[in-house]
Amino acid sequence: MQALLDTLRQLLGADQVLVDAAATAPFLTDWRGRYRGAALCVVRPGNAEEVAAVVRACYAAAVPVVPQGGNTSLCGAATPDSSGRAVVVSLGRLNRILTVDPQNNTISVEAGCTLAAVQDAARAVDRLFPLALASEGTCQIGGNLSTNAGGVQVLRYGNMRELTLGLQAVLPGGELWDGLRGLRKDNTGYDLKQLFIGAEGTLGVITAAVLKLFPLPRTQTTCWLNVASPDLAVDLLNRAKTAFDAQLTAFELVSEVALGLVLRHIPGSTRPAAASPWYVLAEFSDADPAAVERWLGEQVESGRVGDGTIAASEAQARRLWALREAISEAQKIEGVSIKHDVAVPVSAIGEFLARADAALAAAFPGIRVVAFGHVGDGNLHYNLSKSDAADNAAFLASQPAVNRIVHDTVHALRGTISAEHGIGQLKREEILRYKPAVEIALMRTLRRAIDPRGLMNPGALPGAE
CA–CA gap between residue 304 and residue 298 (Å, rounded): 9
Q: Is 56 in the site for a copy of itself (CB under 8 A)?
A: no
- Residues 144-163, interacting with a copy of itself (CB under 8 A): 147-148, 150, 154, 156, 158-159, 161-162
From the list 96, 241, 265, 319, which residue makes contact with a copy of itself (rule: CB under 8 A)?
A: 241
Query: Which residue's CB is nearer to a copy of itself, number 38 or number 125?
Result: 125
52 contact partners, CB below 8 Å, separation of at least 6: 170, 174, 175, 176
Q: Closest by alpha carbon to 72, among 26, 107, 23?
A: 26
Q: Is 46 in the site for a copy of itself (CB under 8 A)?
A: no
List the beta bridge partners of residue 427.
Answer: none
CB 40 within 8 A of CB 5: yes
- Residues 282-301, interacting with a copy of itself (CB under 8 A): 285-286, 288
Query: Which residue's CB is nearer to a copy of itself, number 79 or number 398?
Result: 79
Q: Is 454 in the site for a copy of itself (CB under 8 A)?
A: no
Taking the complex as a whole, the smallest distance from the CB of residue 216 to a copy of itself amounts, in Å, to 8
From the list 42, 253, 310, 423, which residue makes contact with a copy of itself (rule: CB under 8 A)?
A: 423
From the list 6, 314, 429, 439, which residue makes contact with a copy of itself (rule: CB under 8 A)?
A: 439
Neighbours of 159 (CB within 10 A): 21
From the list 431, 455, 456, 464, which residue makes contact with a copy of itself (rule: CB under 8 A)?
A: 431
- Residues 62-121, interacting with a copy of itself (CB under 8 A): 101-106
Query: Which residue's CB is nearer to a copy of itself, number 99 or number 399?
Result: 99
Neighbours of 242 (CB within 10 A): 10
From the list 195, 263, 266, 336, which residue makes contact with a copy of itself (rule: CB under 8 A)?
A: 195
List the beta bridge partners of residue 109.
Answer: 97, 209
Q: Is 176 in the site for a copy of itself (CB under 8 A)?
A: yes
Q: Is 346 in the site for a copy of itself (CB under 8 A)?
A: yes
From the list 67, 92, 142, 422, which residue makes contact with a copy of itself (rule: CB under 8 A)?
A: 422
- Residues 357-386, interacting with a copy of itself (CB under 8 A): 374, 376-379
Neighbours of 184 (CB within 10 A): 10
Would you call 231 helix, strand, or coil by DSSP?
helix
Strand 87-90, strand 65-68: pairing: parallel
Taking the complex as a whole, the smallest distance from the CB of residue 346 to a copy of itself amounts, in Å, to 5
Taking the complex as a whole, the smallest distance from the CB of residue 450 to a copy of itself amounts, in Å, to 7
Q: Which stretch binds a copy of itself (CB under 8 A): 53-61, 213-221, 251-259, 308-316?
A: 213-221
CA–CA gap between residue 243 and residue 72 (Å, rounded): 37
Residue type, 195: L
Is 9 exposed, middle or buried (CB count within 10 Å of its CB: 0-12, 13-18, 19+)? middle
Query: Which residue's CB is nearer to a copy of itself, number 63 or number 167?
Result: 167
Extended strands (E) in 36-180: 41-43, 65-68, 87-90, 97-101, 106-110, 127-128, 164-170, 176-179
Q: Is 182 in the site for a copy of itself (CB under 8 A)?
A: yes
